[in-house]
Amino acid sequence: MNVDRALLLFAGIMVLISLLLTHFVHPGFVWFTVFIAANMIQASFTGFCPAVMIFKKMGVQPGSAFK
């Protein structure tokens, strides 16, 4: 698994967790979903994502989308 696929997996899991928290815990958790979406939009324009830096330090193989 390369860093691109790991990031997609991580983002998907985080969105699902945030939606579950919104539904079962408190409606205010919808802002967590908004934060995740904003981070994904920002990363698509800049190529910078903190999660990618963490994955690289963990030894995940590089991909082509993030430098």
Q: What pLDDT digit, counting tens, does each position of 15-65 carry? A: 999 999 999 999 999 999 999 999 999 999 998 999 999 999 999 998 887
pLDDT at 30: 97
Name residues whose C-beta falls within 8 Å of residue 43's C-beta, 6 or more positions apart in sequence.
49, 52, 66
Q: How far apart are CA 5 and CA 20, in angstroms?
A: 23
Q: What ranges in 1-67 are assigned the alpha helix state H? A: 3-24, 30-46, 50-57
Q: What pLDDT digit, counting tens, does each position of 13-23 carry? A: 999 999 999 99
pLDDT at 38: 96
